[in-house]
């Protein structure tokens, strides 16, 4: 487990991190989210010892030692591959920096390329690959030494849904093998799909921390998804409905000012008759992100 306690970082007059504390348990994926400038990169760089900080960062109850970095896999948001190297040279070079021998890594490369459906041979140069295939190689480099702590910053950047699913499967596999994983993305659908826990930073402070269900439940079941023949105007007249959004066709999203009034809305909407869909839920992570970041729904 990675434990971060009272992390503080100052850049001149700018407070980048202000008393940040959270855990990253083994066998779980922790989503670290926030707007640009919220402190995510500073947190990553503190964990990786790229900069000095105040506070404590412990791995399995002890301060992180130099030897522990061989057990960390880091995929930065910006690609950091060397374009003139071949795929094989790049993978072997970075694996050796993590304490693995070329003899140990080379036999694994073909299987990893197949696993991620990389369109290229291992003797192809990095610069000749598409952006999506470069991203796949970068994730291979992050995972091939089987790290115990994995930090992924926008891992699905530049990938279509099919290839994103391949990488998602590999990330979940690493979690199931015991890794503690930090996953950062601006796409809340990806965060909700893969993460067990969530930490949100805003201007260097933790504003959300808990499991995905705990975070969503904090905001109450203020949304109702319904399929109905009622008009948008008619739905807006229901008690405690403060906003109506037509999602598609006959499907609507109703927002309530009081989640406890869902049964009353149900009674008035159905009047004892069958209804195709009526689902009362907490806000999505995307909506929660907007609320906590101070961005209006409008």
Angle, CA of 287, 77 and 148, to the nearest 5°: 95
Average pLDDT score over residue span 226-230: 95
Are the CB atoms for 285 and 27 separated by under 8 Å?
Answer: no
Average pLDDT score over residue span 24-46: 96
Q: Which residue has the higher pLDDT, 247 or 79?
A: 247
- Going by pLDDT thresholds of 50, 70 and 90, the confidence category of residue 295 is low
pLDDT at 136: 93
Are the CB atoms for 252 and 244 separated by under 8 Å?
Answer: yes
pLDDT reading at 18 higher than 90: yes
Per-residue pLDDT of 55-71, as tens digits, reads: 999 999 999 988 899 99
pLDDT reading at 294 higher than 80: no
CA distance readout (Å), 229 to 72, 234, 242, 251, 276: 54, 10, 19, 9, 10
pLDDT at 272: 87
Q: Is 163 helix (H, G, I), strand (E, B) or coil?
A: helix
**Cross-strand partners of 252:** 226, 246
pLDDT reading at 24 higher than 50: yes
Pairing status of strand 2-11 against strand 14-24: antiparallel
pLDDT at 95: 95
pLDDT at 78: 83
> pLDDT exceeding 70 applies to what percent of the chain?
98
Average pLDDT score over residue span 221-226: 96
pLDDT at 80: 82
Average pLDDT score over residue span 82-109: 95
pLDDT at 296: 42
- Going by pLDDT thresholds of 50, 70 and 90, the confidence category of residue 298 is very low
Q: How far apart are CA 70 and CA 72, in angstroms?
A: 6
pLDDT at 113: 96
pTM of the model: 0.87
Are the CB atoms for 109 and 116 separated by under 8 Å?
Answer: no
Average pLDDT score over residue span 215-243: 94
Smallest CA-to-CA distance from 91 within 67, 68, 65, 121 is with: 121
Give the tokens for residue 180: 């503690």
The widest CA-to-CA distance across the chain, in whole angstroms, is 71
Per-residue pLDDT of 122-165, as tens digits, reads: 999 999 999 899 999 999 999 999 999 999 999 998 889 999 99
Q: What is the mean pLDDT of the chain?
A: 93
């Amino acid at each position: 487990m990675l434990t971060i306690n009272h992390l503080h970082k100052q850049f001149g007059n700018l407070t980048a991190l202000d008393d940040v504390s959270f855990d990253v348990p083994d066998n779980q994926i922790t989503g670290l989210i926030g707007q640009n400038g919220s402190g995510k990169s500073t947190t990553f760089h503190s964990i990786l010892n790229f900069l000095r900080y105040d506070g404590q960062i412990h791995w399995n109850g002890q301060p992180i030692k130099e030897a522990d970095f061989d057990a960390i896999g880091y995929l930065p948001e910006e690609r950091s591959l060397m374009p003139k190297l071949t795929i094989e040279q790049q993978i072997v070079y970075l694996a050796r920096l993590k304490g693995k021998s070329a003899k140990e890594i080379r036999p694994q490369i073909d299987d990893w390329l197949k696993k991620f459906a990389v369109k290229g041979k291992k003797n192809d140069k990095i610069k000749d690959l598409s952006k999506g295939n470069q991203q796949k190689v970068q994730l291979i480099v992050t995972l091939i030494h089987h790290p115990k702590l994995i930090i992924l910053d926008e891992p699905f950047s530049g990938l279509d849904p099919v290839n994103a699913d391949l990488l998602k499967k590999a990330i979940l596999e690493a979690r199931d093998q015991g890794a503690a994983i930090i996953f950062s993305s601006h796409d809340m659908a990806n965060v909700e799909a893969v993460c067990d826990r969530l930490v949100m930073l805003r201007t260097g402070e933790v504003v959300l921390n808990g499991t995905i269900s705990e975070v969503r439940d904090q905001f109450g079941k203020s949304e109702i998804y319904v399929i109905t023949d009622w008009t948008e105007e008619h739905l807006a007249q229901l008690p405690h409905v403060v906003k109506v959004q037509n999602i598609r066709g006959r499907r609507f999203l109703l927002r309530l000012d009081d989640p406890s009034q869902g049964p009353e809305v149900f009674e008035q909407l159905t009047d004892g008759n069958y209804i195709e869909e009526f689902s009362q839920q907490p806000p999505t992570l995307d909506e929660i992100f907007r609320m906590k970041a101070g961005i209006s729904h409008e």
